[in-house]
Amino acid sequence: MHIRLAPSILSADFSRLEQEIKAVEAAGADVIHVDVMDGHFVPNLTIGPVVVKAVRKATSLPLDIHLMIEHPDFFVNAFADAGGDIITVHVETGYHLFRTIDLIKSCGKKAGVALNPATPLAAASEVLTEIDLLLIMTVNPGFGGQAYIPSMTAKIAQARRMLDAAARPIELAVDGGVKADNSRTVTNAGATMLVMGTEIFHSGDYRGKMEDVRRRVGSWTP
């Protein structure tokens, strides 16, 4: 199957954001991953709807808005209006996940849920009837360039089994420390979407890097 590659613009050169996005699109990206951080849920601040609106103008690729923010319900509409296509919220940030997912869908967007490395998969098991994407964090969210937590491979494999049992089309995305070197491990475990920040944007050869990853994961079948 086609593994979807989602460059995370967190590691792009923000002084040339439009060119960076166009460059990864031209180099074969499938999705643009946008990391939104609030300085509360994670110890970093990044971008808001104004920048997402600019990103939207730079590409026709789907935008996956990864909300690493408390009270995501307050911001779903703004990120939907700004041009997000998939809106992903952390299960750790809300009391009423069905309500948040409903809100995302009521905006006509795809709904994703994300799990921190220490959060058990069971935290997402009740919403598999609703979601379009499950995002497994393989670093503690907040920064690009961190090391993949090796024990997460078993969690991805367990998530694969959970999604297969759900028998619905749900993207299994993996985010954090994904490199060409471990891409095959991650897709062998069952990931269908690879989020990659530093590995792509710090490579100097976006096409070469993504082709390298595709070569390594190419023969994976679900």
Single residue of 55, 104, 113, 195 touching ligand DX5 by CB under 6 A:
195
Q: What amino acid is encoded at 145 in this protein?
A: G
Residue closer to Zn ion by CB (options 40, 161) is: 40
Name the active-site residue from 73, 132, 175, 181: 175
Does 208 engage in binding with ligand DX5 (CB under 6 A)? Answer: no
What six digits make up the tokens of 187?
Answer: 């897709």
- The closest alpha carbon to 49, from 70, 19, 72, 80, belongs to 80
In which region does residue 119 sit, left (phi positive, over 0), alpha (psi from -120 to 50) or beta (all else)?
beta
Residue closer to Zn ion by CB (options 200, 215) is: 200
Does 39 engage in binding with ligand DX5 (CB under 6 A)? Answer: no
Single residue of 72, 112, 177, 190 touching ligand DX5 by CB under 6 A:
177
CB of 194 to Zn ion, least distance (A): 11
> Site residues for ligand DX5, window 119-158 (CB under 6 A)?
139, 141-146
DSSP classification of residue 1: -
Dihedral sign for Cα atoms in the order 56, 84, 168, 24: positive
Distance, CA of 148 to CA of 151 (rounded, Å): 9
CB of 167 to ligand DX5, least distance (A): 28
Residues designated as active site: 35, 175
